Amino acid sequence: MPIDSFRPQSWNAIDDIVIVGGGLAGLFCALKLSPRPVTILAAAPIGQGASSAWAQGGIAAAMSAGDTFDKHVADTIEAGAGIVDEKMARFMVSEGPARIHDLLEYGVPFDRDLEGKLLLSREAAHSERRIVRVRGDMAGKAIMEALIAAVRKTPSIRVLEGYVVEELVREGRFVSGVIARPDAGQSKNRVHFPARAVVLCSGGVGHLYAVTTNPWEACGQGVGMAARAGAIIADPEFVQFHPTAIDIGRDPAPLATEALRGDGAQLVNSAGRRFMLDIHPDGELAPRDIVSRGVFAEVQAGRGAFLDCTKAVGKHFPEMFPTVYASCMAAGIDPVTQPIPVVPAVHYHMGGVLTDAEGRTSVDGLWAAGEVTSTGVHGANRLASNSLLEAVVFAARIAENIKGMLPEPKTGDWGKKAGESDDLVTVEDSPALTALRKLMSAQVGVIRDRNGLKEAIRAIATLERENSRMRFHNIVTTAKLIAVGAYLREESRGGHFRADFPDQRKEWKHRTYMTLADADQVVAELAETAAA
């Protein structure tokens, strides 16, 4: 009997709220819901499987004397290439400073100047210094450590680690719970968690691609699950590639933070030529999609691409950027004296589950926050360091919305407390997932075209037919949505670049909205044309 045919065991009580994912959005939402009972289901020990823990840049918030919400919104809209939802962006930006103060109260040690004021940095496409950081490149790690400590001290939050959520349970038009597989997804048994509200905070899609800066848990399962439950998916074609992943053959690839370029580091090829100035007047500080294509072109041409920090950072590298320094030294590269080899890697997904300003999806009973969503604030290309901001702002809005919509339950002893994790099993890529990752990088990557996308969609359909595991179906569903979105959008905009349609087109200056049924219709049409 196939593993997926086993009937799920049932949890012996109805959880008030289940949060899927132990990253920044999930933990922050749980803390904001306190003292309301919450169960967090995390595939890995909290903090270890979350992209937010690896974020190096920081959080963008308009908090300096010369900065304004209007400036931050304007920069966000400019980076988003014409399709940012301005109303949603304004919600996010205006609530940013309050969320920074929340994080300070939770113990996040943001960098300060000698007077004790927050030290603000500048990153690409920002007109002001508004990035709140921790020790240069350790913001994500420090934020997560502080939130994990706060969660473990909060008795109303139960954390179950090593539970891979595979399915959203629907009763009529409502999501009424989730089904998860314990032991990091390796158990033969699945557990049903009924819930009055489900909050999806399952992260991004990076592991759908062969080269990514994301942990393996970020493989698109959340988007796939939501789509299979009937949720509307928005802007799936917009995938952001970070231009400066460190090219040392590691999976995931370590990241050379954008803050290095903000501090003056330059991109050069193997001949020492600084190539970005030929492509964009802002050079290394151009929007990420432009820099990624510039780096990709040098690598494809055989000239290689390198981030030269020797003059801008030099001997200060170890204390200013300890994470990047450690990654380089482990690979035998001394960034104090040597340029760092770099390559574009999938870093962030602007698309995802469509939500409103309160984090509600198109399916009743299901909320979502973080990278699994598409709120519209990023448009076609995320502005640097807006992702952590989006996660905390909308996680807090979800908490307020749930508190207002559902009556208070009785509190009780959850039994298994935060931190009592199950023994975890390392999950290696299956042959099917390895094939899918190579396919996505080759045909749905930095540069796309019609023929490659048609080939990718047909190959994805074949992989879907030949593999019956529930978890893989969630993953391949997300790949299908991304590929179909890219196939349908016949223009280039932000993180989506079509070699056969290299310019923006006025008729495409809008967001994409798609259901799984819509994507399957395109797959069927392409199958018919192939057979004809």
Q: Are 389 and 60 in contact (CB under 8 A)?
A: yes
Q: Distances in Å between the alpha carbon of 277 and those of 264, 281, 289, 294? A: 13, 6, 15, 10
Q: Which of 126, 114, 23, 20 has the alpha carbon at shortest distance from 67?
A: 126
Please give the angle made by the CA atoms of 346, 350 and 351, to the nearest 5 degrees: 110
Task: Give the position of tokens 């996040």.
Answer: 108
Bridge partners for 349 per DSSP: 239
Which of 99, 130, 261, 288 is the catalytic position? 288
Q: Which of 454, 372, 405, 293 has the alpha carbon at shortest distance from 19?
A: 372
Spatial distance between the Cα atoms of 64 and 117, rounded to a whole number of angstroms: 10
Residue 36 is among the residues annotated as catalytic for this protein: no
Q: Distances in Å between the alpha carbon of 383 and those of 85, 203, 319, 440? A: 14, 18, 26, 24
Within 10 angstroms of residue 187's Cβ, the number of other Cβ atoms is 19
**Amino acid sitting at position 192:** H
Cis peptide bond N-terminal to 109, omega within 30: no
Spatial distance between the Cα atoms of 241 and 254, rounded to a whole number of angstroms: 13
Q: What is the dihedral of CA 320, 79, 226, 507, to 10 degrees?
A: -160
> HEC profile for 252-318?
CCCECCHHHHHCCCEEECCCCCECHHHCCCCHHHCCHHHHHHHHHHHHHCCCCCEEECCCCCHHHHH
As a whole number of Å, the end-to-end CA separation of the chain is 37
DSSP letter, residue 314: G
Spatial distance between the Cα atoms of 7 and 225, rounded to a whole number of angstroms: 18
Q: Are 39 and 18 in contact (CB under 8 A)?
A: yes
Spatial distance between the Cα atoms of 521 and 424, rounded to a whole number of angstroms: 39
Q: What is the dihedral of CA 226, 210, 145, 121, to 10 degrees?
A: -100
- Residue 360 in 3-state DSSP? strand
For the annotated catalytic residues, the residue numbers are 288
